[in-house]
């Protein structure tokens, strides 16, 4: 499965990428939402994993752009966030699943597998 990860905290991004690649996924990583949107348009991922608070384009803005893009609008979006999880849960039209930080990497892998199984 192809995954785009949008996370501005290098250590968290690195952990996500390594863990997802170890699970057999092809992962493209971006340090902010604008770069993630570019990667999503280029690679047409099966899932997007994004943080909420990032420079240049937040996870919320990224999700809005994905949903407005005809080629990407059905791509599942998993939000991983610290304080903004409640905001994201109110936007079920944008986010398919919301996990709060700190999270267990096994829970991320389960969530990605769950989103992969959705029609």
Indicate the Cα dihedral angle 108, 114, 117, 119, nearest 10°: -110
**What does the pLDDT average to over 63-69?**
96
Question: What residue ranges do the domains of the chain occupy?
Answer: 2-117
97 bridge partner residues: 78
| Tokens at 93, concatenated | 């039209």
Question: How confident is the model over 87-113, as pLDDT tens digits?
Answer: 777 788 899 988 887 778 899 999 999
66: how many CB neighbours lie within 10 A of its CB? 25
Give the pLDDT band of residue 59 (cuts 50, 70, 90): very high
- Whether 85 shows a pLDDT value over 70: the answer reads no
Segment 58-77 mean pLDDT: 95
Q: Please write the tens of the pLDDT for every residue from 7-41.
A: 999 998 999 999 999 999 999 999 999 999 999 99
pLDDT at 82 over 90: no
Distance CA 64, CA 50 (A): 12
The rounded radius of gyration (Å) of the Cα atoms in the chain is 12
Burial 23-50 (b: 16+ CB within 10 A, else e): bebebbbbbbbbbbbebbeeeebbbbbb
| pLDDT band at 119; cut points 50, 70, 90 | low
Least confident of 1-5, 15-19, 50-54, 72-76: 50-54
Structure confidence at residue 63 (pLDDT)? 96
What CATH number labels 2-117? 3.40.50.2300
């Amino acid at each position: 499965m192809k995954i785009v990860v949008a996370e501005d905290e290098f250590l968290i991004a690195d952990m996500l990428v390594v863990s997802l690649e170890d699970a057999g996924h092809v992962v493209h990583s971006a340090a902010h939402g604008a770069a993630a949107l570019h990667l999503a348009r280029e690679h047409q991922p099966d899932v997007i994993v994004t943080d909420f608070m990032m420079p240049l384009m937040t996870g919320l803005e990224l999700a809005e752009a994905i949903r407005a893009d005809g080629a990407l609008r059905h791509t599942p979006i998993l939000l991983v966030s610290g304080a903004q999880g409640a905001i994201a849960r109110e936007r079920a039209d944008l986010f398919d699943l919301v996990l709060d930080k700190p999270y267990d990497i096994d829970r991320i892998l389960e969530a990605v597998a769950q989103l992969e199984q959705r029609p």
